[in-house]
Amino acid sequence: MKRKQAGKLVLSVIMGLTLLTGCGSSTRADGEVTVNLASEPPQMTSFLTTDIASGTILRHVVVGLTTLDENDKAVAGIAETWEVNDNTYTWKLRQDAKWNNGDPVTAHDFEFAFDELFRTSNGSGYASTWAAYIEGAEEVMAATSIKLCPIIAGDEELADAKWDEENGYYVDGEGSPVADKGKNKLDEYGDPQYKACSQSDAEAAAQEKAIAEAYANKGWKALDDYTFEVTYTGPYPYIPDLMAFYSFLPINEKLYEEYGGLEGYGQDADKIAYNGPFTVASWTHEDSIILEKNENYYDKDHIKLNKIEFKMIEDSAAALNGFENGDLDMVGLSGEQYRQYVEEGKTTYAYEDGGNWYFQFNTTKKPFNNKKVRKAMSLGIDVQAYIDTVVLNDSKIGQSFTTPAIRNGEFYEKVGELYDRTNNDFTAIKTMLEEGLKEEGMTLADFKPSLLGDVGDSPLKMYAFFQEQWSKNLGVEVEIDQVEFKTRLERMDTQQFDIAFAGWSLDYNDPMTYLDLWLTDGGINQGKYSNPEYDEIIAAAYQEGDPKKREELLIKAEKIIAEDMPVGVLYYSTRNYVTTERLKGVGRSAFRDIDLRFAETIADGN
Amino acid sequence: MIPKKKPNVMSKINHNETVYDCDCEVSADEFTHIGPMKNGGEHIARRSVGYFQGAVEYLMRDKLALILILILLFIVLGSVFIPMLSSYSFREQHLEHVNAGMFYTAPDGHHHLFGTDSLGRDLFVRIWEGGRISLSIAFAAVLINCLIGILYGGISGYFGGRLDNILMRVIDIINGIPYLLIIILLMTIMKRGIATIIIAYAAVGWCGMARLVRGQILQLKEQEFVICAQTMGASASRILLKHMIPNILSLIIVNLTLAIPGAIFTEAYLSFIGLGVPIPMASWGTLANDGIVNFQRYAFQLLLPAFFISITMLSFNLLGDKLRDAFDPKLRR
Amino acid sequence: MLKYVMKRLGYAFLTILVLIIITFFMIHAAPGDPFSNGKAMSEATKLALQEQYGLNKSVPEQLLIYIGNIFQGNLGISTKYARPVTKIIADSFPASFDLGIRALFIAVVGGIFIGTYAAVRRGKKADSAAMAVAVIGVSIPSFIVAALLQYFVALKINQLLGPGKQLFPISGWTSEMHKILPAIALSLGPLATISRLMRTSMLDVLHADYIKTAKAKGLSERMIIWKHALRNALMPVITVLGPITATVLTGAFVVEQVFSIPGMGKYFVIGITENDYLLTAGTTVFYGVFLVLSTLIVDLLYGVIDPRVKISKAKE
């Protein structure tokens, strides 16, 4: 009796479930698409943004002075035309662009955004990168820095240390520096802690004056409502590209304040000012963002999509399941998924994301101060085999530091193949390694380096591959040290590593986005590579107005990197994705991770 | 059923009636004294066996239990010896035939019984190699649970009151601290390896057992036999170890068998975040982790480690059941 | 009783305080910097951010400020998301709680039922089947179960049904149907644990004298099990339910990730990997409150289930 009852129950549950199958998977009307953004955009205040997901949303809702077209070329955005006079650009703005509250987009909105970008107390992650490009920006950053005093108990010399504005270091009571010039940190004293300096009223007034002065001398100004003038620090050929970057997007000051300023702006759908093709209709954190066509957009006739839903599905298998179920119009593919799709003969798309993956060597540490050792360790890997077994797509072997994503590969072609990655003559490389080690008074037997890398599933596979290659090809046993990303950064910043597996992706469309990394005081030059010749070449390239000469300098810089090998380039990453047949005109590139501004849907079956 | 009034049976017996019906008499001289029985009289028919001896014997008589013990023995011995005897090492990568299926023979005569993984490593060797790690962790987990968990929980439950309160709040705090944080801090001072994994497991792994034992002891200590032992002046440790723990042994055994896969997958999680076994070593947990990436195409890469984990678990569980029967005299059949 | 509860609440408060203090020092001892993201950042900018988020003070000072703020219902601002931690938790907790309650329901009801059934049918087929379920439940972790369920039960069945039709949605958290598979995936582990403990404990109880008495009295099997045995056998299940409840209700990272549920499980992980100190502290406090309360309830339930148990009484 009992058993039957249980059977009945199961049956009725199944019947109940099958009745529900009537409700089909979500169908989307024409002009509506759902794509996977993969992660929550953490920072939608444009001058603070540093991540790709936020950048993708901003691309769809806010237009800057310029904007990137389908071919990644910088074209007119809010600025209709611009005049270049030496290093000064005069941007003439269009008069029909409007914010969501109906206000026109004016030069003051740009001025405000630039002001806030370089206001150090806002803490923009990109500010110090861009400050070098714009006249007066570094001065504004210095003036708006919070004055901090070191706290070192018991050290009387430091107790009354003061910040010397002019020279940029701390001075003691007598006015002599307590640390080397140019250093903000009191390195000799270990890692000091800081507190905000107590300021007297006079000092506070002085600072306020200094800030006002710095802003008065800034290199960007709204000449009138529709003319914005910016003076740059050099004849950079990529200024129009740069101005399309999200750091330089305009923000309407009135809306910024209304939406809560630094603490509140950009946190929810109704707290973002937009002037672009789409508006943020809703934002469910960690779930989805829905964009709808902006009826007030000046170029709305060219926008074909009415609604875009960005899903935040992090798990790539789950995303692909969703795609196969018909819930999503576009998802990215992992290497394994890409291989499967290729085997099944399905159409996939690919783009180079500008990512360059390399080994970074700690040149302060023996024997990695020796370039033969660095070279041997980076050339001792069969990179094609790595791409074929680990990356699992059509990523390219690295041949120079600048990836082909820059200027559609034009620069990359001119540089040519700087590394011999095809022969894989490991006996010769091993000999080179032994020579290098000998020069440092070491032998292969006592060379036991470690590789610092990230955690996760695919890194496990990646590092196992490298480890086995080094062991097989060079006879070097490398220990693998996997740590959390932030821990890795800290270990690299403090030179606690031998070899690190790291990557860099571009910011703007010029080789310089890669090449100025390895300046002696470069921000991510954690291997402390230093070559005065290289520094000079890059400095010269910054100020070189002639494109041809500039290019020659940059090629020279590439060759130095290939020769000294502070970093051993492995490969340039390619990403794969699939779309449904109804979605056409998707733009994806190193500069536009997802771009649906030019996309449209076509009716099924056509 | 219509309830009927129960007939009162007792009332039918007449207590005044005499029980002796026989009217004959028996005299003493009809009996002869033959002395005590020569063959020992009331000899004990069954051998007198102690607690543990009885349990072991009970276990040995059970065929299923014997088979289970043999399976476990096979897995343990296989893990120890197969990696030594195999012609492949667990780290060797055959890049020319990655993701080979089971029973794969390469054109050059390479043979991979369980196929290869995504880096072309022989899965047969890796499974057994992984067994070494996973089984060590499993045994360590059992040991930690027994040593710390049972004692901690026992003391907390038995002594009760303020001590109990404090000990249990300590567990709350330990459980409250994010595990990932504990591991990240451990990583700053320790290198990858089995010892580290065991310490990372030991940091929190015993708390569940302590809670369980404490809960049961709380219930047990109010029972008559404990009160009796106390009145007779037994020491606390004697009461705990001799009287109470054996009474909850069955639960302890079940909880131990449940702790084993927990430990195996804790290790996999640790590997995932950089504190597990050093690359390129394998464990069942990490093998299963690798397998899930590609289970649609190479199901065996997930099924093999899952099978070994499950079969070990099943053996442990069934054996656990047998053990509890063996250790609980009431349940022996 | 009331006095005991009040006393315990006092202890609970102290526990959470100690938890915050320990966690706070631990997160600050962890390597990494909340503002580093692989890009070059000037020292001045970093210091400005520290000032903005109040991280420029010494750790004890920050701790005091933090504890002070908790009493005003302020858990600070997350450095990763630039949003208040209270808001992050308020946004994400409902989904996690919803999922957790469902999973807990399946695990408790299913576990108790399967465990009891297996104990009664000891050695029979039903017992073996229950054992198999339990072994699978504990041997295969939820991330694998979730991935398999999503692929085979959701995607493959939907594909069988044909285009435009679906039984279980792949991911998301909108309809009731969305919630079934995640709840099953999450419940399997606890269900296995509960059923195993329940079976063992029930077997012990079934051999107790009072059950024999009840049998001798002629009570029906059903009556004996559900009225007499169950209550006494529940003890170990109640014990494990304490921590399980706290964990399951405050977010299951893996299941939420696979099914794209906007729950709070991920914040426990992100807070730590991103060195988002206040996010970690906030989620820890939140979880701590659940944990401490659930263990308190467990202790109180002991007394309800078995009135002989007196937790407040110490051995003299």
pLDDT for A377-407, tens place per residue? 999 999 999 999 999 999 999 999 999 999 8
Task: Supply A292's token pair.
Answer: 């709808």
Report the number of secondary-structure helices (H) and strands (E) in chain C.
15, 0
Stretch C24-46: mean pLDDT:
83
Q: How far is CA A575 from CA A336, A388, A572, C143, in A?
A: 12, 14, 10, 26
Task: Tell me if A354 sits within 8 A of A370, measured CB to CB.
Answer: no
- Interface residues of A toward B, Cβ cutoff 8 Å, are 336, 340, 385, 388-390, 455-457, 460-461, 463-465, 467-468, 479-484, 487
Q: Which two tokens stand for residue A27?
A: 């169908």
Q: Tell whether B261 is within 8 A of chain C (Cβ).
A: yes
Share of chain C above pLDDT 90, in %: 40
pLDDT band at residue A540 under the 50/70/90 scheme: very high
What is the average per-residue pLDDT within A106-124? Answer: 93
Token code pair at residue B146: 């027994």
Residues A424-436 have a mean pLDDT of: 92
What pLDDT, on a 0 to 100 scale, did the predictor assign at position A14? 43
Q: Are residues B177 and C273, on separate chains, in Cβ contact within 8 Å?
A: no
Question: Cβ of B200: how many Cβ atoms within 10 Å?
Answer: 22
Query: What ipTM was predicted for this assembly?
Result: 0.89
Query: How far from each other are the two terminal CA atoms of chain B, in whole angstroms?
Result: 37
Give mean pLDDT, residues C268-277: 90
Residues of B with CB below 8 A from A483's CB?
187, 274
Residue C123 has pLDDT above 60, yes or no: yes
Among A334, A337, A389, most B C-beta atoms within 10 A, so best to mutate, is A389
Looking up tokens 């197969």, which residue turns up?
B82
pLDDT at B42 over 70: no
DSSP for B235-280?
-HHHIIIIIIHHHHHHHHHHHHHHHHHHHHHHHHHHHHTT-SSPTT
Size of interface B-C (CB pairs under 8 A): 177
pLDDT of residue A165: 57
Chain B residues with CB-CB distance to A480 below 8 A: 278-279
Arithmetic mean of pLDDT, A156-162 = 53
- C residues 226..265 contacting A (CB < 8 A): 257-260, 262
pLDDT of residue B111: 82
Peptide bond into A104 cis (omega under 30): no
pLDDT at A184 (0 to 100): 42
DSSP string, B280-296: T---HHHHHHHHHHTTT
% of chain B exceeding 90 in pLDDT: 15
Residue whose tokens read 């003969």: A345
Mean pLDDT score, A204-224? 89
Min Cα separation C282/chain A (Å):
18
* Per-residue pLDDT tens over the stretch C18-28: 999 999 999 99
Structure confidence by residue, pLDDT tens digits, A545-555: 899 999 999 99
Beta bridge partners of C183: none
Question: Among candidates A56, A64, A68, A591, which has minimal Cα distance to A330?
Answer: A56
Q: Does B257 touch chain C (CB under 8 A)?
A: yes
Averaged pLDDT of chain B: 81
Nearest to A17 among C35, C46, C167 (CB): C167
* Nearest CB neighbour to B271, from listed A389, A460, A487: A460
Residue A594 near residue A585, CB atoms below 8 Å: no
Average pLDDT over residues C167-171: 89
Q: Round to whole Å and give the CA distance between A583 and A328.
A: 10
Which 143-162 residues of chain B touch chain C by CB within 8 A? Answer: 158-162
Is C186 an 8 Å CB contact of chain B? no
Higher confidence at residue A418 or residue B4? A418
In which band, very low, low, confident or very high, does the pLDDT at A118 lie, cut at 50, 70 and 90? Answer: very high
Summarize pLDDT for C279-316 with one digit per residue, the tens: 999 999 999 999 999 999 998 888 888 887 776 665 54
pLDDT > 70 in chain A, percent: 86
Q: Which residue of A has its CA nearest to B280?
A: A464
Query: Which ranges constitute the DSSP H helices of A155-273?
Result: 156-159, 201-216, 239-242, 253-258, 261-264
Lowest mean pLDDT among A230-244, A566-580, B185-199: B185-199
* Closest by Cα among B171, B177, B179, B176 to B213: B171
> What pLDDT is attached to residue B330?
63
Question: Among residues 155-184 of chain A, which lie with CB inside 8 Å of chain C?
Answer: 184
C contact chains, 3+ CB pairs < 8 A: A, B
Strand A450-453, strand A499-504: pairing: parallel
Q: A480-494, C21-35, C128-142 — which is least confidently predicted?
A: C128-142
Nearest to B130 by CA among B313, B309, B302: B309
Q: What is the pLDDT of residue A23?
A: 44
Which residues in chain A are closer than 8 Å to B95, comparing Cβ atoms?
385, 388-389
A-to-C residue pairs, Cβ atoms closer than 8 angstroms: 188
Looking at every residue in chain A, the average pLDDT score rounds to 86
* pLDDT for res B27: 77
CB atoms C45 and A120 under 8 Å: yes
Chains that touch B (3 or more CB pairs under 8 A): A, C
Map tokens 């107590």 to a residue. Answer: A198
Among C27, C280, C314, beta carbon nearest to B163 = C314
Question: Of residues B52 and B164, which shows the higher confidence score?
Answer: B164
Chain A's closest residue to C152, CA to CA, is A321
**Spatial contact of A529 and A523, defined as CB atoms under 8 Å apart:** no
pLDDT value for A166: 59
Other Cβ atoms closer than 10 A to A395: 25
d(CA A538, CA A132): 14
| Position with higher pLDDT, C141 vs A435 | A435
The vertex-A64 CA angle with A63 and A68, nearest 5°, equals 80
CA distance A91 to chain C (A): 29
Which chain A residues touch B293 with a CB distance below 8 Å?
A: 336, 457
Distance of CA A493 to the CA centre of its chain: 18
CA atoms within 13 A on the CB side of C251: 24
Q: Which of A20, A129, A146 sits opposite C47 (nearest CB)?
A: A146
pLDDT of residue A164: 59
pLDDT for res C312: 64
Q: How far apart are CA C72 and CA A127, in angstroms?
A: 35
Distance from C-alpha of B292 to C-alpha of B280, rounded to nearest angstrom: 18
Task: Compute and round to an integer the Cα radius of gyration of chain C.
Answer: 24
pLDDT at B171: 93
Residue the block writes with tokens 């070097």: A476
Copy the structure tokens of residue B42.
């009331």
- Read off the pLDDT of residues B292-332 as tens digits, 9 standing for 90 and up: 888 888 889 999 998 898 888 888 888 887 777 777 666 55
A499-504 and A567-579 as β-strands: parallel, antiparallel, unpaired? unpaired
Is B304 an 8 Å CB contact of chain C? no
Integer Rg of chain B from CA: 30
What confidence category does residue A144 fall into, taking pLDDT thresholds of 50, 70 and 90?
confident
Indicate yes or no: CB of C32 within 8 angstroms of CB of A493: no
- Of the CA atoms within 13 Å of residue C40, those in its CB half-sphere come to 19
The tally of CA atoms less than 13 A away on the side-chain side of residue C271 is 32
Contact B180 C268 (CB under 8 A): yes
Position B187 scores a pLDDT of: 83
C206 touches A: beta carbon within 8 Å: no
The token duo for B80 is: 């120890």
Residue B41's pLDDT is 59
What are the helix (H) ranges across A380-494? 383-386, 410-415, 426-439, 457-469, 485-493
Residue B174's pLDDT is what?
93
Does position A20 have pLDDT exceeding 60, yes or no?
Answer: no
Whether residue B45 is predicted with pLDDT greater than 70 in this model: the reply is no
Task: Say how far apart CA A525 and CA A564 lie, in whole Å.
Answer: 14
C149 close contact with B: CB closer than 8 A: no
B192 vs A426, residue with greater confidence? A426
Measured between CA atoms, the residue of chain B closest to residue C292 is: B172
Q: Which of B175, B272, B323 should be substituted to probe chain C, the one whose Cβ sees the most C Cβ atoms within 10 Å?
A: B175
Taking contacts as CB-CB distances below 8 angstroms, the residues of chain A near C47 are 145-146, 148, 194
B273, pLDDT greater than 80: no
pLDDT more than 90, % of chain A: 64
| Count, residues in chain B | 333
* Cα A538 to Cα A557: distance, rounded to the nearest angstrom: 7
Give the pLDDT band of residue A178 (cuts 50, 70, 90): low
C90 touches chain A (CB under 8 A): no
Query: Contact at 8 Å (CB) between A337 and A316?
Result: yes
Comparing alpha-carbon positions, the chain A residue that sits nearest to B187 is A483
Residue A520 forms contact with C (CB below 8 Å):
no
Q: How far apart are CA C264 and CA C253, in angstroms?
A: 8
Mutation site for B-interface testing, chosen from C133, C298, C305, C315 by largest number of B Cβ within 10 Å: C315
Distance in angstroms (rounded) separating the CA atoms of residues A288 and A285 = 7
Q: For A344-455, where are the alpha helices, taking DSSP H only?
A: 371-379, 383-386, 410-415, 426-439
Interface probe for C, chosen from A40, A267, A310, A321 (most Cβ of C below 10 Å), is: A321
Nearest chain B residue to C4 by CA: give it.
B161
pLDDT band at residue B43 using 50, 70 and 90 as cut-offs: low
For chain A, say whether C164 makes contact (Cβ under 8 Å): yes
Tell me how far CA of residue A443 lies from CA of A38, A467, C99, C200, C290, in angstroms: 47, 19, 59, 62, 58
pLDDT in tens, C195-226: 989 998 898 888 888 888 888 888 888 888 88
If you average pLDDT over residues A163-187, what whole number do you get?
52
| Cα gap A463→B108, rounded to integer Å | 27
pLDDT at A242: 93
Edge-to-edge order in the sheet of strand A88-93:
A79-85, A88-93, A227-231, A220-224
- The residue assigned the tokens 């994400």 is C92
In angstroms, the CA C89 to CA C92 distance is 5
Q: What is the pLDDT of residues B241-260, one digit of tens each?
A: 888 888 888 888 888 888 88
B10 pLDDT more than 60: no
C312 contact partners, CB below 8 Å, separation of at least 6: B160, B161, C4, C7
Give the residue-averaged pLDDT of A505-527: 90
Q: Is the pLDDT of residue C132 over 60?
A: yes
Closest alpha carbon to B310 in B64, B71, B62, B101: B71
Measure in Å the smallest separation between the Cα of B202 and chain A Cα atoms: 21
Q: Which residues of A touch B187 (CB under 8 A)?
A: 483, 487
Residues of C in contact with A17 (CB under 8 A): 167
Q: Which of B156, B258, B332 to mutate to test the interface with C (most CBs of C within 10 A)?
A: B258
What is the C-alpha separation between C187 and C73, in angstroms, rounded?
Answer: 32
Digit-coded pLDDT (tens) for C182-199: 999 999 999 999 998 999
* Contact assessment for residue A401 and residue A561, using Cβ atoms and an 8 Å cutoff: yes
Of C199, C288, C315, the CB nearest to B176: C288
Residue C275 and residue A486: Cβ atoms within 8 Å? yes
C-alpha C173, offset from chain centre: 19
Phi first, then psi, for residue C257 (nearest 5°) are -70, -50
